[in-house]
Structure 1
Amino acid sequence: MPSTDAWTLLRSLFDAAVAAADPALCVPSNLPARPRGRTIVVGAGKAAAAMAVAVEAHWPWPLEGVVVTRVGHGAPTRRIRVVEAGHPVPDEAGAEAARDILAMMHGLTSDDLVIGLISGGGSALLTLPAGGVTLADKQAVNRALLKSGARIGEMNAVRKHLSAIKGGRLAAAAAPARFVSLVISDVPGDDLSVIASGPTVADPSTLEDARAVLARYRIDVAGRIAAHLADPANETPKPGDPRLARTENHLIATPWDALAAAASKAREAGYAPLILGDAIEGEARECGVVHAGVALSAARHGAPAAPPCVLISGGETTVTVRGRGRGGRNVEFLLSLALALDGQAGIFGLAADTDGIDGTEDNAGAFLGPDTLARARALGLDPRARLDDNDGYSVFAALGDILVTGPTRTNVNDFRAILIDAPPVDRTAVTPSAASAHRAPTPRRDPG
């Protein structure tokens, strides 16, 4: 049985997943040919700055542009201006950047080229309220959606219909120029119209869909928003819109790419990987229970995978906020997983956001081991009560099991890996080297 330190292996799987979506690797080979006219680069998302750096490094001809990324996710550039703005709640910096980006689309000709750099997080970062809607209105709706438990596609249906730039409107504004959008996916199913609310993609959702989402989650909105969503003139560009005829959208990195890279790394270490899926959604705590059931079946029965193995999954869970604790969807998933595993020997886990930030805290995610619950209780913490208060961060921080990486400058959604060592054996027959493989390893924190 492999004797690899569990924490070290799990961290290496996460690193492999992130590396598979590194803009330095996936942007250059997807750049279009040089146009006869001007080249404009625009973009939004947590990977936007790193993508801009990659474009500059491989585009020797003249270009100009603006991209907007999350505060702390910037990178030094020479020709493309990088703006840092608020996320997950939009702010004035993002609105100003969106105005600048939209202004650059005016007056373009059929000889010109626009390169779009789109990644997860762009929905909040590329904010430009439409009509009579104000930034404060959008901030209030965004906060309510984030707490509601709504899925990313539902949230973005609302965002697109309150925006002057998303839902295909950015590409429409660039016509008749050619628009080539390079997209790093962070959404389940890689739906281009959902990633960053699809600023360069015809929008299949409708004003009626947006109103239905607000009703479904009982979100009260300002009268200006209700009036805007009731006006048919505010519908987004739809498939077949002639303004989008010269727009191309190319997926250059996806959650599946990341999971496949992690699976390959696990195989090299002697663990059989089983990818459970790259588009798992639902409440984080419920997903934790389901993942625990699969892990326990593997540990006890050797199915659906026989130990030593690693269960790997991606997607984007949600958290319906009911408490007042510090959390994020990945630590909420892990705390629920720990409670469901109930100290089962030989099972370790990691859950983290590939952008390096789990929610609004300073961590990417956290580690879990067979002793997580016992150690938490020894510190006077009640794991069940902490989960009820959406306070997973406080538990794992107290244990020293928080994973801090800093911004990765890419984003292919959440990454989860559950390592299952061989089933328990007769301890009297275990050699020292084999026993070491069952011993709970010392948690490690990245210096960040």
Structure 2
Amino acid sequence: MPVGPRQRLLEIFGSAVAAVNGHACVRRYLHTHPVAAPVYLIAIGKAACAMARGAQDALGAAVRDAFIVTKRGYAEDLPWPVRVAGHPLPDEASIEAGTALLEFSARIPAAGRVLVLLSGGASALVEVLPDGVDLKRLREINRWLLASGRDIAACNRIRKRLSLIKGGRLAELLAPRPILGLAIADVPGDDPRVIGSGPLTADADLQRPVDSSGLPDFVREALAHGPPAPAPDAECFRQVRYEIVATLEDAKRAAAQAARKLGHEVVIEPEFVSGAAAAAGARLARGLLQSAAGAVHVWGGETTVRLPEAPGRGGRNQSLALAAALVLRGHENVWLLAAATDGSDGPTEDAGALVDGGTIGRGTDAGLDADESLARADAGEFLEASGDLIQTGPTGTNVMDIILGLRTKD
């Protein structure tokens, strides 16, 4: 039976996500770069369980103990306890996990080797706060950051200044033990200083006063309590080896390979799609309408949404897709998929959406207005009514977002 365009795009997206799965990537790296016993494992992030399974498969009994924390709903059965905590907003469980991380680190013998596995979400899931900053204030700051429309690097620039484990401070805590850090890159440029707010990475920026322009008073007040960070030439960083095992470019290449296997020409777009989600969606859709028929276009990136005071349901990919659908309205031969590779678009259980020329009509028939939905940051409600949401569940990875476009012949 012939496979239609929608199913083909979903299959291509699935192949992209599978190529950067944390289990496979960590196992593959450790098979070729084994770590001698005794190994003490620290895994933090949405892909923590998948990455820990990869380490277990590769190292077996060499792993003597493990500390694992992931997002609620993302836990898996492992030989070690798995903690769950809040994301995108840290919660009491995040603070408890921070205390447990300190205790776990203190128990690692001097002869132990530490394997740290980092993936998206790590900044919220574990925290140790300095004196003068409490959980209530931390949540207030994170809520403001998430609504501000700032990108992840700008958000983490604030977060790491308010932490006793971020900004290289975990490396300082674990010193002098040798550390291997393996990360799935969920940030533009695959910058280790930004992934998980850089717990193992030297950051010269932390030696300079923070640029407080545009920050509300309560954020500035909290930053005054920020602890000192280790200098870039500190001894603790000499024992750290850091490798990135999966990236957005890896996922894009896998998407392209899957599309070719389905018989399509492929255009891997070099642009990193960023900025306002709705503007990006409209721009990509206009380009897609003018593109050659039959080719699958592959983009990657991470856009932002500036939230109103009472946002509705949705995330950046849903906003991007709905804005694209407005441009594609009435065109029967064009499709656009925008989805988060971690399976969770914003604070929702939807990965994103796959829209076409009939999306707006279907949602309008259900009594909804697409422009109003975008203005309310409520794209998810419209896309549910139009039947265009994508659900994948936890994927065991997070390399930001994949966007796929296809126009067939009239």
TM class, shorter-length: over 0.9
Partner residue, 1:315 = 301
CA distance in 2, matches of 1:364, 1:170: 31
List per-residue Cα deviations over 1:67-119 (Å, max 9, x = no partner). Answer: 110001111111x3211111000012122112222233337566320000100
Q: 1:242 to 1:109 in 2, by over 3 A?
A: farther
Partner residue, 1:302 = none
Identity of aligned residues (%): 36
Q: 1:356·1:407 contact (CA, 8 Å) conserved in 2?
A: yes
Partner residue, 1:30 = 29
Shift of 1:43: 2.0
Q: 1:109 to 1:245 in 2, by over 3 A?
A: farther
Query: What does 1:188-227 correspond to in 2, within 5 Å?
Result: 188-206=188-206, 210-212=210-212, 215-216=213-214, 218-221=215-218, 225-227=222-224
Partner residue, 1:352 = 339
CA distance in 2, matches of 1:416, 1:222: 34
Q: 1:343·1:370 contact (CA, 8 Å) conserved in 2?
A: yes
TM score, norm. by length of structure 2? 0.94
Partner residue, 1:379 = 366
Q: Secondary structure at the match of 1:67?
A: strand
Partner residue, 1:291 = 284
TM score, norm. by length of structure 1? 0.86
CA distance in 2, matches of 1:71, 1:210: 32
Partner residue, 1:71 = 72
Query: What does 1:8-407 correspond to in 2, within 5 Å?
Result: 8-31=7-30, 32-35=33-36, 38-62=38-62, 63-78=64-79, 80-106=80-106, 111-206=111-206, 210-212=210-212, 215-216=213-214, 218-221=215-218, 225-229=222-226, 234-277=227-270, 279-298=272-291, 306-322=292-308, 324-407=311-394
List per-residue Cα deviations over 1:27-72 (Å, max 9, x = no partner). Answer: 1232254446x32111211000111122122223341021110001
Q: 1:84 to 1:340 in 2, by over 3 A?
A: same
Q: 1:207 to 1:175 in 2, by over 3 A?
A: closer
Partner residue, 1:301 = none
List per-residue Cα deviations over 1:137-161 (Å, max 9, x = no partner). Answer: 1111000000000110000000000
Q: 1:13·1:265 contact (CA, 8 Å) conserved in 2?
A: yes
Q: 1:278 to 1:177 in 2, by over 3 A?
A: farther
Q: Secondary structure at the match of 1:104?
A: helix
Q: 2:360·2:386 contact (CA, 8 Å) conserved in 1?
A: no
The amino acid of 2:153's aligned partner reads: G
Q: Secondary structure at the match of 1:321?
A: coil
Q: 1:324 to 1:235 in 2, by over 3 A?
A: same
Q: Is the radius of gyration larger for structure 1 or structure 2?
A: 1
Q: Secondary structure at the match of 1:76?
A: coil
314-323 or 327-336, which moves further after superposition? Answer: 314-323
97-106 or 140-149, which moves further after superposition? Answer: 97-106
Say how many residue pairs are matched. 406
CA distance in 2, matches of 1:421, 1:69: 41
The amino acid of 1:77's aligned partner reads: L
CA distance in 1, matches of 2:205, 2:333: 46
Q: 1:102·1:170 contact (CA, 8 Å) conserved in 2?
A: no
Q: 1:4·1:269 contact (CA, 8 Å) conserved in 2?
A: no
Shift of 1:402: 1.2
CA distance in 2, matches of 1:219, 1:266: 47
CA distance in 2, matches of 1:391, 1:411: 23
Q: What residue ranges of structure 2 are gaps of 5+ in the alignment?
A: none
273-282 or 81-90, which moves further after superposition? Answer: 273-282
Q: 1:167·1:200 contact (CA, 8 Å) conserved in 2?
A: yes
